Amino acid sequence: MINQPENGSNLLEAIRQGIYEEMTNDKSVFVIGEDVATYGGAFKLTEGFVDVFGKERMIDTPISEAAIVGAACGAALMGMKPVAEFQFIDFISCGFDMLTNYAAKSRYRGCGAIGAVFRGPCGSGVRGGPFHSINAEAFFLNTAGLKIIEPSTAYDAKGLIKAAIRDPDPVLFFEHKKLYRLPRLREVLPDEDYTVEIGKARIAREGKDLSIITFGAQTLNALDAAEKLSAEDGLDIEVLDLRTLAPLDKEAILATVRKTNRVMILHEASLTGGIGGELSAIIAEEAFEWLDAPIIRVASIDSPVPFAPQMEDYYLPSLEEIIDACRKLASY
């Protein structure tokens, strides 16, 4: 058992605890990826696991994401429960064919379900440059058969990684690296076993004047903007944290629209082709008559992620941009 720090767990520690507990309770769970065993992972998430579970369940691989995904798929078909790690989610593209044409379609083709987790760090804002900073959810949202998760709290991260490992179908588990060791996310987690249901959003902040629909690291930006606007403008803003991007929690999305009648969609990936377009379509098709203002999307600009700090800051949605969009929406 991994002892929880006295001051609580951060997001990385929560995921680490969740995987460790599942490996302890289920001998069919194993971890596979580059440097996950001896080195303990690029971010040290699995540090020390090899000493407990051995090299048969902590498998270091060559630098080939396609091979990692393929091996995980094969193992899952044989009844194992692989947790495959990408050192950075940018390189999930190297396993795209196996994920979209095999893992996602295996159940449909009658070959059997692939109960595997494909996880890794995503996200910008850490000066990682164009090859270590992307948000990849939009690449996979159009692929039926994949579940996609991105948590924003330590509690959700642990509960969702455990749920993902137990899920009978392939799950993409994206972890924003900027949140890994963020002090404000540290919280004391329950000692008892728990999971968080896949496909269910959560209200991160109750409000009545307008809604911000978001997920991942942008949930924190949305909460910061809401508090600032409450203090300066008296606006009462609701923040809906999606948690699961596929399947989307339509019920929660439509409920917040009907409650506040004004909606801003916030995500970190580039605007064009992002999840904000799909969310906007759902709201327009199923809750148009509840809207008192046009839907506003706030996202990163259509560009590779810059390396220079000032350029990356310009690329990302800023707190000021979110606040300005909220004020525009509220005054419509």
Residues serving a catalytic function are 132
- The whole-angstrom separation of Cα 220 and Cα 319 is 10
- The whole-angstrom separation of Cα 106 and Cα 93 is 19
Give the chain's radius of gyration (CA, Å). 20
Characterise 44 by phi-psi region: left (phi > 0), alpha (psi -120 to 50), beta (else): left
Q: Is the peptide bond before 294 cis (omega within 30 degrees of 0)?
A: no
Which residue in 197, 187, 120 sits closest to 162, CA to CA? Answer: 197
Cα 18 to Cα 70, 84, 165, distances in angstroms = 24, 14, 9
CA atoms within 13 Å, Cβ hemisphere of 240: 27
